[in-house]
Structures are given as structure tokens and as C-alpha cells.
Amino acid sequence: MITIKFYSLLRLLVKIEQVELELADVPISTVLEEAAKKVKTPFLHKLVQDGKLITGTIILINGRNIHHLDKLNSRVQDGDEIALFPPGGGG
Amino acid sequence: MGSSEIFSRHSMFLGEEKMRLIRESSIVVAGLGGLGSVVCDSLYRLGVGKLILIDNKKVDLPDLNRQSLYTSRDIGQAKVKAAADRLADIHSYTEIITARIDIRDENALVALRDEHSFDGIADCLDNYNSRFDLENLLESEVFMVHGGVKNDFGQVTTINKGRSLRTLYQGEQDFPEIIPVVPQIVKIIGSVMTQEIVNNIFGEPQLLDKLVIFELADFSLYKQKVDLRL
């Protein structure tokens, strides 16, 4: 089971706090695609364009930004927790 | 006017030992914008021993929607000066040091670190790259409480030496430079930061490897586990 949590803007968009998927040992890109199918609200365009990560939403696997892992190819295992988090950069 | 009377309402709750820790603490506040205003005001009224204020900008009209240390009379004045003047009007039990420097100026930052000792840093800056540079002030035993806001949401966490905001924000961009924000979320996130600074002063940080995320629209508050170790 993989858990995907949505925060702030994304949660308000998809109107759900989290989804769970029966997946294991798949790239994060697959997890996101399956999550989008499950929540039935398009949100992938906020994260990925032309196959590349865009800024504005941080994707964490077990608290680590996938920029420091293998980006969209980062592997996700059974039991992992994904967080999708649009940060506030202002002060 | 005695300090015991000024601080009486919160010292009744906190007690003598915690008030001593607050009184003996020295905190750097980096960025005197919206979050910096709230953090400075609250730490000052709590009675911290020393505040070291860092900013190199002047007060501008669009600041007045949320930067609660300033009024229209401060337009054009250096923020460090306007903030120090405003705080000094409240009481005289906190030492105020002002540094009108650019965080991105490594030499100025090193000089500040060499000249002053401090227990913690409040990251109230408004862009990621400056935050990464601010981490150069981190030494062992020094904590940094980070806050950020946008629109009507924001987040807070604590880091120390061995942890970095780069692990969280690397890949994010600082554009556009002007970030939309409502004043009420600034007050909330600034207040959460102040509480976490106090937690750190007491040696009891609550947000090490945790990120508080607050969304004002539906009053949702989450603590998300993060791994910010280098």
C-alpha cells in the first residue's frame, strides 16, 4: 500500500486529503498517474510538463524531495508515503 | 515600569526558569517583512535578551498590508531602523542590534557571526536562495526556525547543523519575485514560528524533521514528516 497525501492548494483542488494505492516497486511517475485516476480530478499538470518536473509543488517520498532521489524515476515501495506540497516562499 | 509587571501575564504561565531562559536568549531575525514583524514583536514582548535584526531594504507602500512593525510614516526608512525604533517604544529590557546587510553577502554574514553570539535564527526571508545562504550562520547548538507563506497558506520547520532547507526546496525557483499573500496567514505563520523558537529556547523543539503546513481557507493544519538531513 502506498499513501499519497495532498496539501494546501492541491488538497483544495482534488478535495481529498489522501489516497491509498495497491502498488509496489514502481516509479513515482506511475504512482502519480494512478493517483490522478483515483481522485478523478486532473492535477498532474501542476507537477509535470513535457515529462519533466516543474516548480511550485514539492514531491516527497518518505520526507525526501525526489529532486535528491531519481526525480520522476524515483522508485516507490510498498509502505512508502508520498506528500505533494506546494510551498510558500514568501516572508 | 518594571520588567516583572510588563511580562507578568506570560510569566504567570511559563514560570521563573523558562522566563530566565527567554531573558538569556539571543535570536537573529533575518528578514523584517511580514513574518519578521510578527516574530520580532512577539519575541520582544516575551522578553528575549537580545534581538539581532537583519534586513537591507526600506519600507515600501505594499509592505503595509502585513508588515505590522511599520506605518505610513516609515515609508522610505530602512526597515532595521524603523523596526528597532518601534520595538524600543514597547520597553527597554531587550537589547536590539541592527545589521543592514544583504544575506547573500557572505563576508557581511561571516562578520556578523564573528561579532555576535546567538542561540537561534528566525528565517523570515522571502526567497529560497537567501535562505540557503542564511544557513551559513548555523553552528552546533544553534537552531534555525524556518517559515514561508504564499496566498493563504504557509509552513514552518526547525533545522540545525546537519540539516538543510536545500534538501526540501532545491529545484524550486524564486520567480516571480513578488509573492501574493494575505495578512492573516502572515500573523499565523509568524506566531507558529515564535512558538517554535520558544520551544527551541527551552530545548524542546517540536518541528525537527516535521513540517507544519497551515491552510487558512478551511483551517487545516498538518504535521508532515520530512527528512532534511544532509
How many angstroms away from the CA of A37 is the closest CA of chain B? Answer: 24
Flag whether pLDDT at A6 surpasses 90.
Answer: yes
| Domain count for chain A | 1
Residue B230 lies in a domain: no
State how far the alpha carbon of B164 is from the alpha carbons of B10, B28, B29, B35, B192, in Å.
33, 18, 18, 20, 20
Q: How many CA atoms lie within 13 A of B132 on its CB side?
A: 13
Chain B residues lying within 8 Å of A68, measured CB to CB:
167, 170
Residue A75 lies in a domain: yes
Domain span including residue B121: 3-225
* Rounded Cα distance, B195 and B203, in Å: 12
Which CATH number covers residue A31?
A: 3.10.20.30
Q: Is B19 on the interface with A (CB under 8 A)?
A: no
pLDDT band at A33 (very low <50, low <70, confident <90, very high): very high
Amino acid occupying residue A47: L
| Domain count for chain B | 1
Residue B99 lies in a domain: yes
Residue B212 lies in a domain: yes
Residue B79 lies in a domain: yes
Using a CB–CB cut-off of 8 Å, the residues of A that contact B are: 5, 7-9, 11-12, 53, 55-56, 58, 60, 62-65, 67-68, 81, 83, 85-91
Q: How many CA atoms lie within 13 A of B58 on its CB side?
A: 8
Cβ atoms of A23 and A34 within 8 Å: the answer is yes
Find the residue in B nearest to A63 (Cα). Answer: B226
* Rounded Cα distance, B103 and B123, in Å: 11
pLDDT tens for B99-127 read 999 999 999 999 999 999 999 999 999 99
Q: Which residues of chain B have pLDDT under 50?
A: none
State how far the alpha carbon of A81 is from the alpha carbons of A58, A64, A76, B157, in Å.
14, 10, 9, 19
**What was the pLDDT predicted at B83?**
98
